Amino acid sequence: MDRANTVRNRAQRYGTTDSKQVKTTMYRSKTCGELRISNAGEQVTLAGWVQRSRKMGGMTFIDLRDRYGITQLVFNEEQDAALCAQANKLGREYVLQVKGTVSERYAKNDKMPTGDIEILVSELNVLNASLTPPFTIEEHTDGGDDLRMKYRYLDIRRENVRANLELRHKFCIAVRNFLDSKGFLEIETPVLIGSTPEGARDFIVPSRMNPGQFYALPQSPQTLKQLLMVAGIDRYFQIAKCFRDEDLRADRQPEFTQIDCEMSFVTQDDIISTFEEMAKYLFKEVRGYDLGEQPFLRLSWHEAMRRFGSDKPDMRFGMEFVELMDVLKGSGSFGVFNDAAYIGGICAEGCAHYTRKQLDQLTDFVKSPQIGAKGLVYARVGEDGSVKSSVDKFYTPEVLSQLRDTMQAKPGDLILILSGADAMKTRKQLCELRLEMGQRLGLRDKNKFSLLWVVDFPMFEWSEEEGRLLAMHHPFTAPRPQDIPMLDTDPASVLADAYDMVCNGVEVGGGSIRIHDAELQAKIFKVLGFTPERAQEQFGFLMNAFKYGAPPHGGLAYGLDRWVSLFAGLDSIRDCIAFPKNNSGRDVMLDAPSAVDPKQLDELKISLAADNE
Amino acid sequence: MDRANTVRNRAQRYGTTDSKQVKTTMYRSKTCGELRISNAGEQVTLAGWVQRSRKMGGMTFIDLRDRYGITQLVFNEEQDAALCAQANKLGREYVLQVKGTVSERYAKNDKMPTGDIEILVSELNVLNASLTPPFTIEEHTDGGDDLRMKYRYLDIRRENVRANLELRHKFCIAVRNFLDSKGFLEIETPVLIGSTPEGARDFIVPSRMNPGQFYALPQSPQTLKQLLMVAGIDRYFQIAKCFRDEDLRADRQPEFTQIDCEMSFVTQDDIISTFEEMAKYLFKEVRGYDLGEQPFLRLSWHEAMRRFGSDKPDMRFGMEFVELMDVLKGSGSFGVFNDAAYIGGICAEGCAHYTRKQLDQLTDFVKSPQIGAKGLVYARVGEDGSVKSSVDKFYTPEVLSQLRDTMQAKPGDLILILSGADAMKTRKQLCELRLEMGQRLGLRDKNKFSLLWVVDFPMFEWSEEEGRLLAMHHPFTAPRPQDIPMLDTDPASVLADAYDMVCNGVEVGGGSIRIHDAELQAKIFKVLGFTPERAQEQFGFLMNAFKYGAPPHGGLAYGLDRWVSLFAGLDSIRDCIAFPKNNSGRDVMLDAPSAVDPKQLDELKISLAADNE
């Protein structure tokens, strides 16, 4: 049996919710998900929650639910009036233990795995009562987000929420077994580390034993995993909690989970081939999706920006950008185009029939504050190949025909064009329009997956705010070897030996070959505007380590929450996290954060600033 | 193939360091651990660190080391003087890439797996230089603890340190696969939670978005896993980081790792049988040690205290306590015994020959401040059965013979006796003496493992300091059902439905059946001296959850660091942690904690207390 097959078979054999016979306890002989017609006649004991109950004539039916499924219980007034009366008093979410006989149903329900049977109950034991839950425990619940978060322990009882957590569990087991089979060691790095001002804001933790000093929670184990490479660990991974004290956007959490990996004695190709194999394995084993034998596409960052206006292009559909500067700039009297630094278009197949109203919606979309375009130019291609555009009066029919040909638009297509004074900004706006059109045309199917690597990122990006170059990834990223000489002459043009794995327009993970040479690292810090003293103060421990035989190394990190959300088809990472925080960083169930006892602050030798007291 | 076998075979197939052919990269075709005589003649590329080099005549030999092993390189001055000269300049811990031919050695070394071959080097590429490391990279290094911690990235290069991390990795993979096969879901609970003053001291984290408020880092996921049971997860586990801001004793870390488990619809027997199976599995698969088919011994807490003076008795050897009150109290004129509340002895087999000096050492040991006994009484049993004791003048020979018989001492044995006014304290002193004698007699073999469950702990213990009963485990522990009525009449005598797993005198893990009834929980809080308001304020989220159909549940948590240390035969948990902190809670490598930028404190609206500034 080859390795891949073995990993696969193992995953199948050890699936979680389908494994049988291991969940018998003193309280139950079977779960609510496993009884079938073949069990008819058996005496069983079940335990679970009342999903719903209904009375029909002299019969009472109760759906009993546990993590593994739902089984119908039957109480017959004629056979045991007292028991039936007891059953009629049970409310939703009561916790029961019942004994009874598995019996074939008259009216079978083929929508549920246990739909062929029911339990004729002979003994009923109420293990716990329940208040009426504040929302229904159903896939389509009547509970709003805030209420569900406050009662997250009830929300998780809903099958779809639980399924996300089960998926996350399965995903992590598969990741670990794959990486283990490749010789990676999972090594826990500390959560209480030192603060590094570069990058996002740290959460800090006052130290009682070292008054006036603070630990920081790691934004990622980046420097620690590099130290593990210096330590000769060769292949490291960790499914690690990371922390960033940022103002939360819709899909950010102050604590999130990374699959963090690092390898020694490798080049970019080694890393890409290892993790491409892992991606294919995970898609197949955990999601049941075959990514095929072909290697993933690799696009340079520049090409991705040029063709899709994004460093994480959604490749489930085409609608690539076509640059139109040669066609439209200076070839007519439309001042907006004549002044533009960039003009680009996309071709929406078969959309020439779009109404005025639909086009106005698209115009409003690109002009919305989040997108920020000035306007939208469109051109319809008629069935006869003629072009009718919103800029007809500025251009000759010949130019418009040239536009159609350059766009490779066919009869019935709609051409959408954006322009602007800042090429990069305009491309990003056009990217949003492309995604919107993809959405409208149903081209962004959640059950289709398209992966690629984006490579050759710029090393640096200019920060207007700070008036200096910033590291586009982080300051430990290696430049491409051929670009090293440019660090002195033209640092802004240096490309990094970095790569992102992108799936369906989402950056699933990314990484780089790291600098392993103390001198090169010092040079990069210099380009980033660090004085040698500040570099030493902040990263001295790493630069010192590099003096003791650091091997060539590189790695990457995946966003676990994001990857699982993709597999689950979720719109927010929040839905695959057991106890997420809201956009104010609060856990509304625990009511955290909260005020603490002043004694605690005294012990820590800190105090609240006056305006908080 | 049955389940256990499959899990086992899987573990064997996916062993980490022995898996082959997956570690080829652009920098190497083989690792330094895999070449054998069968590879002779092959052209290979290796990469690694210079372990040592030596010149013999015109030959230079270098041991090249990577994570997987050591391979000998040979440079021949006659064949390539320039290359050999280059090799002679390489220092310890230089990072090399070499190409060469695998060749059979003249002088084979059967102490290393690659000892039959060497590499005749044809190409040498120095990937990185190294300063001379501050200590030797050998199993028996010349580096002291402090130096090794500061340069932990060099310390981890030592094979024995790395082996501990590999063991930890293997252990965690095995734990996860076992629990997965039993239907447990690993669910991540948050690290930023609310502070709970009960128990040890929390680490707290100021919230910038919620000024004046603080998160706390979890001391354990206890309440969260109980909420997951309320949520219907049925079987949960997590290998979770936990945090306690305590004054550190020798073997404590401010952050440590727990294998945290919880199950619904279970009794103590369900939990014990599940985790006994896991223990047997882990010992066999990870440690290669067969614990046998028999269930583990279960001792009640009272019996463990009576027979061994400890709630975590070391059962690798006997030397059980014999109570001697009936024999020695009031039967002679020795006032110390006549006043004692407890007199107990142990019988050290074959130690009657102990010299005066040895007995003085033992006396000093029990009188040391850590033990705190007043003195030690001994009695030697001669070859003729006669008894010679340090209290001969107080007792008749008949009493001494009775002592010998009660102790079941044989000719040549040594009886050691402690007494005191506080029975519990004296038993603990006698426990220390028993362990000391076990050590001296070589009865505490690190390669032998003896496991047991200690059950029926007292629910509460009296705190002199606080003048109230404290929860011996935690306030969510259920009393034994039969003891519930005593909560009103005699709470101090109530026993808990709690259990500890003990191995070789170490508490490896422990847990309990939890209270799932809001009323009973309220009653326990009352016994513990909580006002209803304070209970609501601190644990309201949990007590509210219990009102919505909490199932019966229970669980346990293992100390991962401790268990791995046991398997590795380590004296300190620190040695199985990649980057541990010292006894002041400092990471000396990272130099954390440290002062932070005052701007950070401003943003958090906190300030240092005046005496820190």
- Residue B605 in this model has a pLDDT that exceeds 50: yes
Give the B window 280-299 contacts with A, CB below 8 Å: none
pLDDT at A611: 59
Q: Which of A72-76, B2-6, B302-306 has the lowest mean pLDDT?
A: B2-6
Q: Which long-range contacts (CB under 8 A, 24 or more apart) does A596-601 make?
A: A596/B195, A596/B204, A596/B214, A596/B216, A597/B195, A597/B197, A600/B195, A600/B197, A600/B201, A600/B202, A600/B204
User: Hey, is the C-beta of A80 within 8 angstroms of any chain B C-beta?
Assistant: no
Q: pLDDT per residue over A357-371, tens digit each? A: 999 999 999 999 999
Contact across the interface for B173 and A189, Cβ inside 8 Å:
no
pLDDT at A119: 98
- Residue B5 in this model has a pLDDT that exceeds 70: no
DSSP H or E segment with residue A180: helix A159-181
How far is Cα B392 from Cα A445, in angstroms, rounded to an integer? Answer: 93
How far is Cα A229 from Cα A235, in angstroms, rounded to an integer? Answer: 8
User: Hey, is the C-beta of B577 within 8 angstroms of any chain A C-beta?
Assistant: yes
pLDDT at B256: 96
- Residue A470 in this model has a pLDDT that exceeds 80: yes
Of B194, B197, B546, nearest to A592 by CB-CB distance is B194
Residues pairing with B63 in the sheet: B52, B72
Amino acid at A326: D
> Which residue out of A151, A188, A584 would a mutagenesis test of the B interface target, given it has the greatest number of B Cβ atoms within 10 Å?
A188
Q: pLDDT per residue over B81-93, tens digit each? A: 999 999 999 999 9
pLDDT at B613: 45
CB A376 within 8 A of CB A362: yes
Of A153, A204, A600, nearest to B231 by CB-CB distance is A153
CA-based nearest residue to A481, from A491, A496, A492: A496
**Would you place residue B183 in the very low, low, confident or very high pLDDT band (cuts 50, 70, 90)?**
very high
B599 vs B21, more confident? B599
Say whether B609 sits in a helix, a strand or coil.
Answer: coil
Q: Which residue of B has its CA nearest to A159?
A: B232
B186 vs B597, more confident? B186
Task: Report the C-alpha dihedral over residues A399, A401, A405, A408, rounded to 10 degrees.
Answer: 120
The residue ranges of DSSP E strands in B390-545, in sequence order, are 414-420, 451-455, 460-463, 468-471, 498-503, 506-513
Give the B window 104-123 contacts with A, CB below 8 Å: none
Could you give phi then psi for residue A88, rounded to 5 degrees? -70, -15
Q: pLDDT per residue over B392-412, tens digit each? A: 999 999 999 999 999 999 999
B7 vs B600, more confident? B600
> Which residue out of A8, A26, A166, A185 would a mutagenesis test of the B interface target, given it has the greatest number of B Cβ atoms within 10 Å?
A185
- Evaluated on CA atoms B302, B303, B306, B308, the torsion sign reads negative
Residues of chain B contacting A186 with CB distance shorter than 8 Å = 169, 172-173
Q: Which of A547-556, B137-146, B501-510 has the lowest mean pLDDT?
A: B137-146
How far is Cα A254 from Cα B206, in angstroms, rounded to an integer? Answer: 13
Shortest CA gap A188–chain B (Å): 7
Say whether B468 sits in a helix, a strand or coil.
Answer: strand
Q: pLDDT per residue over A310-329, tens digit each? A: 999 999 999 999 999 999 99
CB A409 within 8 A of CB A389: no
Residues of chain B contacting A275 with CB distance shorter than 8 Å = none
pLDDT at A198: 64
For the ranges A286-290, A568-572, B143-147, B595-599, the maximum mean pLDDT occurs at: A286-290
Q: What is the DSSP string of A132-170?
A: PPSS--SSS-S--HHHHHHTHHHHTTSHHHHHHHHHHHH
**Would you place residue B21 in the very low, low, confident or very high pLDDT band (cuts 50, 70, 90)?**
low
> Between β-strands B214-216 and B255-264, what pairing exists: parallel, antiparallel or unpaired?
unpaired
- Residue B69 in this model has a pLDDT that exceeds 70: yes
Give the B window 251-280 contacts with A, CB below 8 Å: 254-255, 257, 263, 265-267, 269-270
Contact across the interface for B212 and A608, Cβ inside 8 Å:
yes
Residue in the block written with tokens 């700070």? A466
How far is Cα B31 from Cα B26, in angstroms, rounded to an integer? Answer: 12
- Residue A512 in this model has a pLDDT that exceeds 80: yes
pLDDT at A196: 76
- Residue B19 in this model has a pLDDT that exceeds 60: no
Contact across the interface for A190 and B579, Cβ inside 8 Å:
yes
pLDDT at B474: 85
pLDDT at B251: 77
Give the B window 429-458 contacts with A, CB below 8 Å: none
Which residues are CB-neighbours of B213 under 8 A, at least 6 positions away? A593, A594, A595, B206, B207
Contact across the interface for B516 and A128, Cβ inside 8 Å:
yes
CB B60 within 8 A of CB B50: no
CA-based nearest residue to A175, from A88, A258, A271: A258
pLDDT at B518: 86
Q: pLDDT per residue over B253-295, tens digit each? A: 999 999 999 999 999 999 999 999 999 999 999 999 999 999 9
User: Hey, is the C-beta of A582 within 8 angstroms of any chain B C-beta?
Assistant: no
pLDDT at B444: 96
CA-based nearest residue to B227, from B475, B539, B611, B11: B539
Give the B window 297-336 contacts with A, CB below 8 Å: none
Contact across the interface for B165 and A185, Cβ inside 8 Å:
yes
How far is Cα A469 from Cα A449, in angstroms, rounded to an integer? Answer: 35
Contact across the interface for A26 and B266, Cβ inside 8 Å:
yes
Q: In the predicted model, what is the mean pLDDT of residues A545-571? A: 96
Shortest CA gap B415–chain A (Å): 45
How far is Cα A22 from Cα A13, in angstroms, rounded to an integer? Answer: 13
* Structure token digits, residue B91: 């220092």
DSSP H or E segment with residue B308: helix B301-308
Q: Which of A116-120, B21-25, B222-226, B347-351 has the lowest mean pLDDT?
A: B21-25
Q: Which of A72-86, A513-527, B143-157, B239-253 has the lowest mean pLDDT?
A: B239-253
Contact across the interface for B128 and A192, Cβ inside 8 Å:
no
Contact across the interface for B209 and A247, Cβ inside 8 Å:
yes
User: Hey, is the C-beta of B153 within 8 angstroms of any chain A C-beta?
Assistant: yes
> Which residue out of B548, B564, B574 would a mutagenesis test of the A interface target, given it has the greatest number of A Cβ atoms within 10 Å?
B548
Longest distance between any two alpha carbons in chain B, whole Å: 94
Residue in the block written with tokens 């290892």? A274
Shortest CA gap B392–chain A (Å): 53
Mean pLDDT of chain B: 93
How far is Cα B230 from Cα B549, in angstroms, rounded to an integer? Answer: 7
- Residue A121 in this model has a pLDDT that exceeds 50: yes
Which residues are CB-neighbours of A513 under 8 A, at least 6 positions away? A266, A267, A268, A271, A477, A478, A497, A498, A552, A553, A554
* Structure token digits, residue A263: 């390898």
- Residue A524 in this model has a pLDDT that exceeds 50: yes
pLDDT at B198: 65
Q: pLDDT per residue over B232-254, tens digit each? A: 999 999 999 999 998 877 678 99
Of A65, A205, A609, nearest to B605 by CB-CB distance is A609
Alpha helices in A407-485 (DSSP H): 423-440
pLDDT at A25: 87
Give the B window 168-207 contacts with A, CB below 8 Å: 168-169, 172-173, 176-177, 180-195, 197, 201-207
| Exposure letters A146-176 (e unless 16+ CB within 10 A, then b) | eebbbbbbbbbbbbebbebbbbbbbbbbbbb
How far is Cα B174 from Cα A173, in angstroms, rounded to an integer? Answer: 11
Distances, alpha carbon B11 to alpha carbons B39, B176, B536, in Å: 27, 11, 47
Of A97, A155, A208, nearest to B245 by CB-CB distance is A208
CA-based nearest residue to A155, from A165, A164, A143: A143
Residues of chain B contacting A593 with CB distance shorter than 8 Å = 192, 194, 205, 207, 210, 213-215
**Would you place residue A83 in the very low, low, confident or very high pLDDT band (cuts 50, 70, 90)?**
very high
Q: pLDDT per residue over A256-310, tens digit each? A: 999 999 999 999 999 999 999 999 999 999 999 999 999 999 999 999 999 999 9
CB A476 within 8 A of CB A516: no
Shortest CA gap A449–chain B (Å): 26
Shortest CA gap B506–chain A (Å): 23
pLDDT at A464: 85
DSSP H or E segment with residue B432: helix B423-440
pLDDT at B609: 84
User: Hey, is the C-beta of A537 within 8 angstroms of any chain B C-beta?
Assistant: no
Of B231, B549, B597, nearest to A130 by CB-CB distance is B549
Q: pLDDT per residue over A124-183, tens digit each? A: 999 999 999 999 999 999 999 999 999 999 999 999 999 999 999 999 999 999 999 999
Give the A window 373-432 contacts with B, CB below 8 Å: none
Q: Which residue of B has its CA nearest to A583?
A: B209
**Would you place residue A197 in the very low, low, confident or very high pLDDT band (cuts 50, 70, 90)?**
low
User: Hey, is the C-beta of B245 within 8 angstroms of any chain A C-beta?
Assistant: yes
Contact across the interface for B266 and A162, Cβ inside 8 Å:
no
Q: In the predicted model, what is the mean pLDDT of residues B4-8? A: 42
Q: In the predicted model, what is the mean pLDDT of residues B361-374? A: 96
Residues of chain A contacting B270 with CB distance shorter than 8 Å = 25-26
Contact across the interface for A192 and B254, Cβ inside 8 Å:
yes
How far is Cα A298 from Cα A300, in angstroms, rounded to an integer? Answer: 7
Of B216, B541, B604, nearest to A591 by CB-CB distance is B541
- Residue A190 in this model has a pLDDT that exceeds 90: yes
The pTM for the full model equals 0.94
* Structure token digits, residue B597: 């930028």
Domains, chain B, in order of start with CATH, read: 20-128 (2.40.50.140), 163-298+452-576 (3.30.930.10), 317-443 (3.30.1360.30)
Q: Which of A43-52, A90-99, B459-468, B571-580 has the lowest mean pLDDT?
A: B459-468
Count CB pairs under 8 A between chains A and B.
Answer: 429
- Residue B318 in this model has a pLDDT that exceeds 60: yes
